[in-house]
Structure 1
């Protein structure tokens, strides 16, 4: 599995709509609205390297309102956080 972190600049008037559209792109696992230098961050997870171009260049970057993308390809994962546990309320089964 290949993971890419995509920083996305969006027309300010289209941020919610662009985020929703990007979240629907096959291969995009999460989209975050963030504070800072960019408007959105998308996590892209695909099986083959060639799929990155399809997901990012052919689909994600063509979503209405997307102005610019910057992509970082992850080489190795050092953390194996269980997100479900990280966001749980501490209630035991």
Structure 2
């Protein structure tokens, strides 16, 4: 599974509509409205690299109100939540 973190700049008056449209795209798992230098951050999870171009370049960046995107590809995930699930045996304590 490939994970991409997509920073998205939008027209300020269209943030909620853009976020909702992005959240409807297959492969987008979450969209966050954030503070800082960008308006939205989307998490994209796909099986193939080619799907990233389909989702980000062909769909997200063409939504009315999207001004710019910047994409980061995750190499590894480090999370206490993920580690706890990986080592859980499903036995009651």
TM-score, with length taken from structure 1: 0.85
Unaligned runs of 5+ in 1: 83-93
Unaligned runs of 5+ in 2: 83-93
Q: Deviation at 1:81?
A: 1.8
Higher CA-based Rg: 2
CA RMSD, 1 decimal? 0.9
**Number of equivalent positions:** 82
Map of 1:13-92 to 2, 5 A cutoff?
13-81=13-81
Q: Deviation at 1:80?
A: 4.5
Structure 1's consecutive aligned runs of 4 or more residues displaced over 4 angstroms after TM superposition are none
TM-score, with length taken from structure 2: 0.85
Q: Deviation at 1:78?
A: 1.3
Q: Deviations over 1:32-87 (max 9, x none)?
A: 000000000000000101100000000011111000000000001111426xxxxx
